[in-house]
A and B are shown apart, each in its own frame.
Chain A
Amino acid sequence: MKSFRNLLIIIMLFLWRSNVTAQTNYLLNNGYNVTIHGGSNLHDWDETAGKVSGTSNISWNSNGSFNITAMKIEVDAHSIKSSEGGTMNNKTYKALKTDDHPAITFTLTSPLQSIKVSPAGENVMASGDLSIAGVTHQITIHAKVTASPGGNVDIDGSQPIKMSDYNIDPPTALFGVLKVSDDITIHFKIEFKK
């Protein structure tokens, strides 16, 4: 009876070991593209983040799927450059309060489990904390995750947000007549590598 119980434990451990491998730390690859798209009553504008860093913990399952158990992405707010040039950069830094809050961060709070590997990518909903200008909100990002078996993991998506939710006053000019829209969309295309 005792040997049967030991055998059962060994079988269970084997099954568990064969299903989940150890977590691996992944780092954000340099080929990222993080942009912010917004509007105004003059025209639309875009800004690009020049410096983005990130880490994630990824484990691969025996069936080829994988889990993202942790992820943190950090955008250097001072590296954000506007398509409108230096004038708008200064407005952006002032709005984002970059002197006090130099980083915009997203931290995954719920692990993403059993993401399938497919050439077309897998749509996921990633819940996490987004911190901008010192204000943090729990958000759910819709993203597409693409990976090669055991290899790099690409995440691609966009997230609409309201500046006012993060206590950011949309920049104005011309005595309030020229207004930047409260709604912006953050587009991201990032890759994690071992």
Chain B
Amino acid sequence: MKKIIIPGLVAGLVILILSVLGLYLTIWLLPGVAMQYFDPAFNDQASRAMLYYIHPFIIAMALSWFWNRVKGILTGSFLSRGIEFGLIYVLVATLPTMWLLYSAITVSLEMTVTWFVFGLLQGIIAGLVFERMNP
């Protein structure tokens, strides 16, 4: 249990930093995409914004449990195991979810791509943390 929770918390913290950085990077690098977040489809209640800042820990805990189950089949170096884990996560979870979101709600393709890239980075970073802390 300890082998799942502690790496999960550490990965959650790293993904949280990445998440906050991602928000500012969106404003600086993709102002057109940032403006789309003013759409009423996106929630602007401060109370619910806190849920966003908690989500890295939800993902990281789930990924930590998943890592613990599949780490035996991942071979290679620190980098290759971490990246492969990230790719598995993004192919199994992120890609189908983004596909569904893009088909079901009014979001631009560029916005959906940013979410996909963000998911990929989350998976890879989590994989690298787990590889180091729970090899």
Q: Interface on A for B, CB 8 Å cutoff?
A: 41-43, 84, 87-88, 90-91, 94, 171-178
16 pairs from A and B in contact (CB 8 Å cutoff) = A41-B27, A42-B31, A87-B39, A90-B40, A91-B38, A91-B40, A171-B38, A171-B44, A173-B37, A173-B44, A174-B26, A174-B34, A174-B37, A177-B20, A177-B27, A178-B38
Q: Contact partner of A94 among B35, B40, B42, CB < 8 A?
A: B40
Interface string of B37-56 (1 = CB under 8 A from A): 11110101010010011000
Residue B92, interface by CB 8 Å: no
Q: Assuming A90-B39, A173-B34, what are 20 further A-B pairs, CB within 8 angstroms?
A: A42-B27, A42-B31, A42-B34, A42-B35, A87-B36, A88-B38, A91-B38, A94-B40, A171-B38, A172-B44, A172-B46, A173-B35, A173-B37, A174-B23, A174-B26, A175-B52, A177-B20, A177-B27, A178-B23, A178-B37
Beta-carbon contact of A176 and B35 below 8 Å: no
Report the minimum CB–CB distance from B39 to chain A (whole Å).
5
Given A90-B40, A171-B44, are A178 and B34 neighbors across the interface (CB < 8 Å)?
yes
Residue B78, interface by CB 8 Å: no
Beta-carbon contact of B31 and A173 below 8 Å: no
Interchain CA distance A178-B34 in the complex, whole Å: 8
Interchain CA distance A175-B24 in the complex, whole Å: 11
Q: Which of A42, A87, A171, A174 has the most CB of B within 10 A?
A: A174
Residues on B with beta carbons closer than 8 Å to the beta carbon of A42:
27, 31, 34-35
